[in-house]
Structure 1
Amino acid sequence: MRLSLTLMACAALAACSPSVPDSAAGVGFNDYDAYLAERARRDAALTGSVLPPPDAVSSEPLSADGQTMPSSDAETLAAETRAALTASQANSGVPPVQADPNNPPPQTVTTSTGISSENDFEAVGAQRSIESDAQLIAQNRAQYKVVEPTALPQRSGSTGPNIVAYALSSTHPVGTQVYRRVGFNKEARARRNCAKYTSYEKAQMDFLEKGGPTRDRLGLDPDGDGYACGWDPSPFRNAVPSAGGA
């Protein structure tokens, strides 16, 4: 009795245990060899043309909505379809490029004028040689001259008063009377005389050269500040901070 119970328990356990898969079956497939065959068939189909051959177009009359299309229209449509399929398979008349070391080199596209003679080695080689280039280099070296530096030339004649030095030597602002001026209509006379100069600097130089700032022989400084025609020494003073100035 005990032996029979043991056998029944073993049979029950065997029924509940999972079956061992076949070693020849692939994951998710009943037969791995069948899977490989199906995959090879699918790859062959994918590498082929996606369009049907021209002879696959049927010559039977076409029908639409249950009515047969006239034979002339059907033949025209079939002819156009065959022509389109033929053109697509022929790559629109342009043969595909096959990579092969034996292929001829591509044709060089050149313009009608071509390259210049200076960039053409054959043209330059026909016109010049190594010897002629060496001779040309020697001629250029013979003409080469080294210019030695010389001393700066001295200025000739009088350079006139130095208005920069005068501006730095004075400290009072424009409009401050320092020198005595006498006469009538000094302002009107100064306007007439200052109009003859093209710049304030030129008027100040003539003013200093003719006795200024103490004397105003040209009538250019009516207020007696020592600055002719409104000339302002401030820019020169500001350029040199040590010069000070008001």
Structure 2
Amino acid sequence: MKRSIGAICALVALSACQPAVPDSAAGVFYDEKTGEHRRTALPPANAVSQETIPDAPQIATIEPAPVVATVPPAQSVAATPLITTTTAQPQTAAAAAATVPSTSSTASAANDAASIASETTAALAAASANSGEQPLHASPSNPAPQVFSNPGISDENDFSAVDGRRSIEADAARRAQNKANYTVIQPTAVPVRTGDGGPNIVAYALETKHPRGTKMYSRLKIGGASRYEKACAKFSSDEAAQRAFLEKGGPKKDRLGVDPDGDGYACKWDPSPFRVAAGN
């Protein structure tokens, strides 16, 4: 009993020695006039604040328009479901009868087969009649085809083939015979033209140097362009006109009226191609 009383007294003494806990509910502020820190008591918990909090803005909710799905009207289609391994069902008598080919279709197929067989037989008969031999059917038991040597191909490069029918002495005699038959033909001079063929327009083109349209000879302008066109129309080509022009006294004289500008060239004859060929 004494011990319990002593323990109680010790607890009371310890509680008296414990420092006071500051009031956390009291506020502390600095007074600028006095320069001291002061405490103010906070309002009680049941006090109502005078501040007014504005209400949250109301957002108008837009309701979406109802979606109306347009579904086409159901059509009455007699669809036959696919038959799988899991959904296979025995066919009815009507379905089995539908899958069996009719007698008419069977007869048509038989007629087609008979027609193909007859056409094949006729084709084979025609082929055998053309060649005189029956067609060869492919079979492993057929004999190997006979190999014919081509007589057009020479075997002179085959030593084993030539060795039996040729010798060194025979080759030497052949070489001597070929050498004796070899004849060297010496070149000769080109024969001189007799001049019976008329003026040579190629030689005339190479002798002259001036181009077409350059006046080299005087002309009497009689008849003008109409006379020139009629004169050139009489010849089959410009080469024939130039040859006749040289035969009749050209290029100094133009008795045919084919060189009115006096360049020495009849109608539209041009010596340039001959000069270019000779230059190359």
Fold similarity call, TM over 0.5: no
TM-score, normalised relative to structure 2: 0.36
More helix by share: 1
Higher gyration radius (CA) = 2
